[in-house]
Structure 1
Amino acid sequence: MANDRIIEGLQLIVTNLSQQALGHKIQAKVFAGQGFSKLADKYAEHYDEEMSYVDRCIDRILDLGGIVENQAKPAHPVHTDPVEWVKHDLQVSIDGLAALKQIIDGAKDDLTTYDLLKDYYKDEEEDLYWGQAQLDLIERIGVQNWLVHQL
């Protein structure tokens, strides 16, 4: 049944994105504790944004008659090195966009879900571009100069 596949995809997003969002909140706290207030603010806002997509996916599962699950997800590392974190987060975006594209393809006949997922894809793509831009900037101005900009 088409709805079952869509619900499965939405549940996958709920599980993975809620874990990713929590990771962003934790990283925001770590960066704030290190004095990198711009990074802390970026990832705190990112947490809120991602949780809004989790909420929207949960609502859509319920609209489709599905049952939302609170699934376990393996632990993810917490980074104290901001550059290593940006590299890690960029790879998560790359991998996540590939998986999300498959879910979107499966929802193309459900326009409401399709629009939701398309909006989420655009948001994740912006995050990918931000991460790439930060790594390019680090390469151009050096790590120490980049870190100063994050204070």
Structure 2
Amino acid sequence: MKGKKRVLEQLQQLLAGELAARDQYFIHSRMYDDWGLHRLYERIHHEMEDETGHADSLIKRILFLEGVPDLSEQEKLHVGKTVPEMLQNDLDVEYQVVTALKKAIAICEEERDFQTREILEVMLDDTEEDHAYWLEKQLGLIKRVGLKNYLQSQMGDDGGS
């Protein structure tokens, strides 16, 4: 099924964002693991897997619409040096993804590509209600309990590794 050019362009832009989010979560998760923050590692590793799933959905949709996914293009990474900076950088990425998804959903509506719109709406719910919400909560916890207490709460059990 030949997709509309505007929809394919939006899907490609979204893919570039998801690839960057995946890679940013990847490096941040490994930094958390290295620092012994095992709970943060587990959650951010899970987020990396979610972003990989989003990228996979976009790739499949681009292919279905007879486009060619370009995995060589991705947004710039913003790797933090401290836990609060890392969480904020990840939240900023999620906000950018939300904005891009809303724009792409509107274009799908204009182009009457309701199936692509539906796929993107699921991604939007996941991004707003899970990823961004969780990151906002973590930054709020740091403000309420202090960074030292927060970091201690994130050490957890390393599962024997």
TM-score by length of 1: 0.92
Q: Equivalent pairs: percent with the same residue?
A: 26
- The residue aligned with 1:69 is 70
Letter of the 1:102 partner, please give it. K
Counterparts of 1:38 and 1:107, CA distance in 2: 38
Q: Unaligned stretches of 5+ in structure 1?
A: none
8 Å CA contact 2:14, 2:100 repeated in 1:
no
Residue 123 in structure 1 maps to residue 122 in structure 2: no
SS at match of 1:107: helix
- The residue aligned with 1:110 is 113
SS at match of 2:4: helix
Give the root-mean-square deviation of aligned CA atoms: 1.6
Counterparts of 1:53 and 1:36, CA distance in 2: 26
Letter of the 1:112 partner, please give it. Q
Question: Shift of residue 74 of structure 1?
Answer: 5.5
Q: Unaligned stretches of 5+ in structure 2?
A: 156-161
Question: Shift of residue 130 of structure 1?
Answer: 1.1
Counterparts of 2:96 and 2:74, CA distance in 1: 16
* CA shift in 2, pair 1:74/1:56, >3 Å: closer
Counterparts of 2:45 and 2:95, CA distance in 1: 21
- The residue aligned with 2:158 is none
Residue 34 in structure 1 maps to residue 31 in structure 2: no
Question: Shift of residue 106 of structure 1?
Answer: 0.7
SS at match of 2:93: helix
Question: Shift of residue 75 of structure 1?
Answer: 4.2
